[in-house]
Amino acid sequence: SDTTADGDTFVCQHPPYRPQLISTSPLVVYLHDFITPEERAHLHRATNGTWRRSAITSNTGGARSAVRTSQSTYIPRDPVLACIEDRALHFQGEAVPRASLEPLQLVRYAPGERYSFHSDWFGNPAYTSPAAGGNRVTSFFAYLYVSEDMTGGGTNFPMLEPKRDAAWCRILDCDDVYENGVTFRAVEGNAVFWQNLREDGTGDPRVIHAGLPVVTGEKIGMNTWTREAAPWTDGGDQAYPEV
Ligand SMILES: O=C(O)CCC(=O)C(=O)O
Ligand SMILES: [Fe+2]
């Protein structure tokens, strides 16, 4: 067991999360119960007072933009974050070094806030040198907190083939029109995993997506990005990039 900054005793126990294949090309996998209630509660508490207006490196070089109107924060790595990192690395086969994980980024949306269509991979080579970490190979976006009254706030992938079987409607927005592709509902504890880069290392345009506007309530999510290179030091406090 280990102790977090707020004095909790925490034992890293990976939940029996359940994967569902959404698409093989591009690879998109939905993960049920990826973040435990205890982890979510801890992360929610730890964000208290640390939120700042979100920035975007890929489009604006770290500037604030109307494209992304949410608030973001980074929590220094603690036993809870390290446990989630272990899970994300394990999911990708253990060969991925921890130092290729960007510091986990939390993002919070109030009513009217959103992240317009974007790719998580960088199109600008200025951000993908080996020293900068290379490009973002994969993304996990996890729903950490969704208030009871939250409406809107899905994660939309317009290029993915929609699923029409009603069995999917618990996790996908089945009211959406066919042309909009796939919209994941924000369901606490669940996560979406996808591959950003094609085999040749170029960014895959089929995984563009948006955090749709939250209409009522509040949504908090978390990005876990795995980079091509491994510039981040293992453990310890690090300089957090503006992304
Ligand atoms: O809020 C969402 O649903 C998606 C957020 C996102 O795509 C990002 O932060 O890169
Ligand atoms: Fe994104």
Domain that holds residue 206: 2-227
198 touches 45 (CB < 8 A) = no
Burial of 164 (0-12, 13-18, 19+ CB in 10 A): exposed
**Separation of alpha carbons 149 and 157, rounded Å:** 24
Residue 105 lies in a domain: yes
Whether omega before 26 lies within 30 degrees of 0, making that bond cis, reads: yes
Question: Each residue of 4-13: pLDDT tens digit?
Answer: 766 668 999 9
The pLDDT tens digits for 27-84 are 999 999 999 999 999 999 998 888 999 887 654 456 667 888 889 998 888 999 999 9
| Position in ligand 1 atom list of the atom nearest CA 209 | 7
Query: Cβ(223) to ligand 1 under 6 A?
Result: yes
Give domain status of residue 235, yes or no. no
This model of the complex carries an ipTM of: 0.99
Strand order of the sheet with strand 136-146? 18-23, 28-32, 191-195, 136-146, 219-227, 105-109, 71-74, 52-53
**CATH number of the domain where residue 39 is located:** 2.60.120.620
Residue 29 lies in a domain: yes
Question: What is the rounded distance in angstroms from the CA atom of residue 100 to the CA atom of residue 98?
Answer: 5
- Asked whether residue 236 is assigned to any structural domain, the reply reads no
Number of domains in the chain: 1
Mutate to test the pocket of ligand 1, among 107, 108, 184, 219 (most ligand atoms within 8 A of CB): 107
Can you give the pLDDT at residue 62? 60
In-domain check, residue 107: yes
Atom of ligand 1 lying closest to residue 54 CA: 9
Ligand 1 pocket test: which of 141, 172, 214, 242 has the largest number of ligand atoms within 8 Å of its C-beta? 141
Give the per-residue pLDDT at 1: 60
Rg of the chain over all Cα atoms, to the nearest angstrom? 17
Helix, strand, coil % over all residues of the chain, rounded to 5: 20, 30, 50
Q: What percent of the chain has pLDDT over 70?
A: 90
Cα of 243 vs centre of ligand 1, distance in Å, is 12
Question: What mean pLDDT do residues 132-146 have?
Answer: 96
- Kindly state whether residue 165 falls inside one of the protein's structural domains: yes
Backbone angles phi, psi at 17, to 5 degrees: -70, 155
pLDDT at 180: 93
Which atom of ligand 1 lies closest to the CA of 139?
Answer: 10
Q: Could you tell me if residue 232 is inside a domain?
A: no
Note the pLDDT of residue 111: 97
The pLDDT of residue 115 is: 95
